[in-house]
Every structure is written in structure tokens, then in C-alpha cells.
Structure 1
Amino acid sequence: MQHYDYLIVGAGLFGSVFAYKAMQEGKKCLVIDRRPQLGGNLYCENVEGINVHKYGAHIFHTSNKEVWNFVNSVVEFNRYTNSPVANYKGRLYNLPFNMNTFYQMWGVTTPDEARAKIEEQKAEAVARMHADGVTNPRNLEEQAQTLIGKDIYEKLIKGYTEKQWGRKCTELPAFIIKRLPVRLVFDNNYFNDRYQGIPIGGYNVLIERLLEGADTRLDCDFFTHRQELESLADKVVFTGAVDEYYGYRFGKLEYRTVRFETETLDTPNYQGNAVVNYTEREVPYTRVIEHKHFEMFGAEVDNCPKTVISREYSSEWTEGSEPYYPVNDERNNALYQKYKELADKETNVVFGGRLAEYKYYDMHHIVEKALRCFES
């Protein structure tokens, strides 16, 4: 029976990058995943020639040149720039908050006019708090209004945030919004990072190239075959849920999840942008993703006669649903620390990634952590 240096549990980005680096050093890797396909949440389904981000939109961005050079050494990335649009009751606003947004909101045309309007509204929010005998924001609503004012909060933050968290902004803690970036320039590029893009050919190409040479088993549940699988390798790289690894002995960690409604439409261009946020509370979904815009530009869009859109719905995590976002509140973080103490004592198990570390990571952080993890 084949023996491996590493059993890698989870064929997502962390496990795939770790396997790639290990194989470059001549190590043998077995990569398993309980899903029927490789890639974890990066997996794309090809529909009508369009790569559909099955588990939610993924946009790679980083200022780390080493990380950017690494992923581009595996597969070349395209020029996609994330410039989402917000739809509030049929009116469109550019994101992130910049001079285009402020012109659309108030008709102001200069940075000085925009700054004055924001400061005026922030002062009004502070005055309302003082009238209640309060100096520090008591909840997310007050925090947001002291950072950006009432108009932008009411139209572009409130409804979207309440849908995301499933509760009113007045019931959410202030610390969720520590700052709100304001740009007094006409720049719709969502990220400040130096590099961004999508792998040419889609994320499946990236994962397949990272795992070239590794043995893989799909539809394989680690916990069902744990004893047999652990006997096959010297070390385990575990990217699943850390509480599940330890049999939930201290209790279960909580998550938020996302549900997608995906449909194919008989039009080459549905909304003209990859990402449109729906910020009013009455629209049940948080945003609509039009997948072709991640990889098709200019005439390519019209040359592909159909399009695929996904509506995203944020909800509480329930048993059997996909755990997307850790709920990093005080209770859950304290619970995770108990599991981390156990994990830190392991000598032949490496824990890595969003579920294993109970922390939300962007993709470039995952790549960097996997590279550092293998080196150490």
C-alpha cells in the first residue's frame, strides 16, 4: 500500500498550495475531499462557456509581490478589477465610497464639497448621541453614522448589513464597523491592493495545476475513514473544522452561511457588472453576481449569447449547511481558544485555513500562510 509524507484533508486553496510546495521538495501527498470535486469553495462550474463561482464570488487581490508572483507562476491571471455597484430602490451608486458615490448621493463635484457634507452629517450624528446623554456609539448604527453620516448609512449600509447579519443594526455591536474608507477621488476600484485578477481559464485551472502529481480521493470523508487514512501518512495537514476534528468536545463553533440562487438567462449581458449589491432591506438577497464579467471583457461579453447570475442570501448556519463566515464574537473566540490549545500540542498535525483556524481569510492570506507553513 502506498505510503505518503502528507495526508492533506481538504482540496481547497490552503491544502493545494501546501501540496504543491511539498511535491516540489519531492514529498508524496494524498489529498482528500468530502466533496465530489477539487478546489473547495474556489470550485467553478462551467455553464454555457462561463465559469460560475459555485460557492460565491472569489476575486484574488494582494499587495504581496511574492504571493502574486507565486500564483502567476502556476497560472497567468487576467486584468479583472473589482468595481461593485450598489442598487438602492433602483438608483445606482458606485462602491467603495468615492467621489462618484458622493456626486450620485448629493450632486457634489469637488472633494471639498464632499468632505463638508460628510462632516456636517457626522456632526449631526454625534449631536443626536449627546442629546441621549451618550458619548460613545452603543451599536453599529450609531458607529456608522458617526463615521459616514445618515444618508450613506441609510441607503448603502443599513439594509445590506441587516441582511448579512440577520438582525437590526441597532442590535449589532459597534465594533463590527471600526472604520469606513472614504476616497475623495473618482476611483471605483474596490481594493487598495497593487495586484488583482482572476486566473485565466478560471480557478479550476489553478487548483488542478497546484495538485498536479498528487494522489487525490474525492467523495472521501476523513472522519468516516479516519484510522485508515491517518495510517497512510507521516503527517496530516487538516483544513476542515477544528471543532469537528476534536469531536466537538467543548461544543460547536458558530458560522454565518450563504445560499445561492443561480439561473441562466437568454441575454448576453444582464447587469453590466460582475457585482451589484442590493442595499435595501426589502430585497431579500444581498447581491447579484454576473459571472461572465470576471473573465470576459469588451466584445467577448456579447459574443457569448447567454449569461449566468447568482443571487446571494445570507443566513444563520444550520446543521448540514456550508460554514462560510466564522462568528468571531467573544463566546465563539473563547471556545476556539480551547480547541487551539489542543491543536498547538499536536506534533504530526498541521491546522490551516478558514475552518481550521476559525478565522475569515482572503485568498492571498491563505496562500501566504500555506507557503510559510510549509517552510516552517
Structure 2
Amino acid sequence: MYDYLIVGSGLFGSIFAYEAGKKGKQCLVVEKRDHIGGNIYTKEVEGIQVHQYGAHIFHTSNREVWEYVQQFAEFNRYTNSPVANYKGEIYNLPFNMNTFNKLWGVVTPAEAKAKIEEQAAAYRTEHPANLEEQALNLVGKDIYEKLIKGYTEKQWGHRATELPPEIIKRLPVRYIYDNNYFNDIYQGIPIGGYTAMIEKMLAKAEVRLGVDYLEHKDELDALAEKIVYTGPIDAYYGYQFGELEYRSVSFETEVLDQPNYQGNAVVNYTEYEVPYTRIIEHKHFEFGTQDKTVISREYPAAWKKGDEPYYPVNNEKNNMLYHSYEKLAKEEKKVIFGGRLGTYKYMDMHHVVAEALRVTKEELI
């Protein structure tokens, strides 16, 4: 018998296994994929740590969270400064004075603010009925058409006029010359990749790869006193209330025989006609100087059973459906639900770490 059966070897499950191991608990971790780490898995290709499931940049202002992850890896000084490519025009993200200078030639914050207010006023709607009206209300035509419209439509799989205005409640507009995407105090990427970090967390646990928990649920449940489940909560309950909605992503990765493809780790493609949302050039996450480079194109997709679910679609309809599953989860005496899929919440890595630490403190008293 094990003390805990942990379903999924992503960040939440791995932290739980590490903390339980410190308390002398026996943990069995089962992972559906053929590798550990969940979506933060990194794989070395041509001496480059490739983020197999999209860019993962650790950032937080929570000192406890930052100091916690430092146990498992040394983090570099990487600062996320993505750029947008709109029909060959390059703009800095998030929207800042460098963006506004490129768009309109304005130099001072006052000039930029006046230009945005002028453009937004031309499209002012008291009660925006969709995302397009909301975005035009906030930033006007130029920023919306070049930097928001196409990217958002690709990301969500719907035209902006079909999306609810709540998706863009506000847009980050900075009247400073600062290309740092995050406002957090701490930021970086583990030197040597995330997989090595997860390996340290799982050092005391038994790990079985290629195991589909839901296919062997009764057999596996019998092995442990308690279960920590980080998969989709609707799948756990056999979709008895219906399927929750997710967005998925597919990746097209290739090795290029050149040292530098795009000059930046992250380039967003904001025109609708380009089918992918962004290209990641992985070597720039660690300031690589290798002779070759590895790039990944990201294609958003509607999720269906059998696909990897990436992003919960937290609209009113899905949140109500989730609450039906949540009620069942709260009645469980033997099962702990965690992670982005287990709690149907969009969480960045630092949120997952904080939540995992909170749950382990409550559980492992």
C-alpha cells in the first residue's frame, strides 16, 4: 500500500510528492504520457532545452513561491519581452511607448494617451455587445486591428464579433518605455530546463509512465490510502454532467541549420491569415550560442475528447457546469483535486506552486 496515489507528474503533483516524501509518506505517481513534467516538460535537442508544450516562463512576486522553486534549480535572468509581427511590421508587447512610437511616431506619454483617447472616442459604445466593440472602446482602431483582432480570433477559434466583451475587461497600456511583459519582482527560467527540476521533486516517489489512470482506476485506487488527482475533473466523473470546454494547442517543431531564426524567444503573429499564433525560438530562453536553432509554431485548436486540454474556457456556462462537478469533489473523502485541470482554473506556474503548497500544508499536518 502507498499513502498517496498521485495522478499526473506536472507541477502540482510533483510538489505534493516532494512534500509528502519529506514527511515519510510513500507515493506512487502515475503519468499518462511517456515523460514526467506535464506541460512544463523540456527536452534537450541540439544542446537546446526545448519547451515541448509551449513557452513556460516562471514569474512571481510571491517570495515564498520563488524561494521554494530555487531549491530545485538555479534560475537565469531571462525577461519575457515578446514582439508582435503584423504583416512584417514589428511591435513591442505589452503595449508601451515603444509600441506607440512605432504606430504613430509619438514620443511623450501625453501624446500617446491623447492618440489612444482620440481613437477610442471614435468607437465609443456605452454597452459593448462583443469583444470587438469592447476593445475598440478601450484602445481604438490601430492597436485593435494590428495587435488584438487576429491573434484573439485564432486563440479562441471565433471571430471577435462572436466573442463576449468580458474576455477583454481591460487591456494593459503602459505609458513607459518598458518591454518587460510581466510586472512581477522575480522572473526567469531554470538553467537546464524544467524536467531536471521535476526529477528532483519526484526523487523519493515511485513513478510509472504510460499509465492511463482512468482506464485502471479501480485497480490503482486500491493501492493507496488517498488519491491526488490532477487530470480533468469532468473526465474523473465520466462526464456525467457533460463535457467542460477547453482550448487545445498543436505544435510544429523543427531544427534549423542556422544560429538565429527570429532574434527573440517569442514572436506573436497577430494577423488572422497566418494560422499559428506565435513562434517560439527556444535557445533564446537560455541565451544560447549553438550553431543550430529549434523553433516551434503554435496552432490553437478546439478541444475534443482524446486531445490534450490546455486552457479551461472559464465563461459563465462552463463555470456553472464546473460547480456541479465541484460539489461532487467536495464530498470525496479519499480524493484531492488539484492543478489547472483538476480545479478547472487558468493558473500560471506560480499560482500552481502556491496552491500546491497550501494543499500540502493542510493535508500533511
Same fold (TM over 0.5): yes
> Of 313, 321, 336, which aligns to 1:335?
321
Instruction: Tell whether 2:194 aligns with 1:203.
Output: yes
- Residue 102 of structure 1 is matched in structure 2 by 100
Q: Deviations over 1:123-174 (max 9, x none)?
A: 1111xx4xxxxx2111101111111111000100001011111111111110
Gaps of 5+ in 1: 130-134
Match of 1:123 in 2: 121
Matches for 1:1-376 after TM superposition, within 5 Å: 3-126=1-124, 129=125, 135-296=126-287, 300-301=288-289, 304-376=290-362
Q: Distance in 2 between matches of 1:198 and 1:209?
A: 16
Instruction: Give the SS at the match of 2:239.
Output: coil
1:175 match: secondary structure: helix
RMSD: 0.9
Counterpart amino acid of residue 191 in structure 1: F
Q: Which amino acid aligns with 2:325?
A: Y
1:213: how far off?
Answer: 1.1
Question: 1:4 Cα deviation (Å)?
Answer: 1.2
What is the one-letter code of the residue matched to 2:303? Answer: W
After superposition, give the CA deviation of every residue in 1:228-264 in whole Å (9 maximum; x if it has no partner).
2111111100000111111111111111111111111
- Choose 245-254 or 186-195, whichever is displaced more: 245-254
What is the distance in 1 between the residues matched to 2:171 and 2:272?
20
Segment drifting more, 364-373 vs 43-52 = 43-52
* Aligned residue-pair number: 362
SS at match of 1:74: coil
Partner of 1:132: none
- CA displacement at 1:202 relative to structure 2: 0.3
Q: Secondary structure at the match of 1:152?
A: helix
Deviation at 1:319, TM superposition (A): 2.3
Q: Deviations over 1:308-331 (max 9, x none)?
A: 001111111122111111111222
Alignment deviations for residues 171-229 of structure 1 (CA, whole Å, 9 cap, x no partner)? 11100001111111100000011111111110011100111111110011112221221
Q: Distance in 1 between matches of 2:271 and 2:245?
A: 26
Amino acid at match of 1:68: W
Share of identical aligned residues, percent?
Answer: 67
- Residue identity opposite 1:328 in structure 2: N
Q: Distance in 1 between matches of 2:157 and 2:201?
A: 37
TM-score by length of 2: 0.98
Structure 1 residue 359 displacement after superposition: 1.1
Distance in 2 (CA, whole Å) between partners of 1:138 and 1:225 is 47
Alpha-carbon offset, residue 295 of structure 1: 1.2
TM-score, normalization by structure 1: 0.95
Q: 1:68-125: per-residue Cα shift (whole Å, max 9, x none)? A: 0000122111111000000001010000000000001101111111111111111111
- Matched residue SS, 1:216: strand
Gaps of 5+ in 2: none
The AA in structure 1 aligned to 2:356 is A
TM-superposition CA deviations, 1:15-67 (whole Å, max 9, x none): 00111111111111111101111001111121111111111111111000000
* Structure 1 residue matching 2:321: 3-state secondary structure: helix
Greater than 6 Å deviation, 4+ residue runs: none
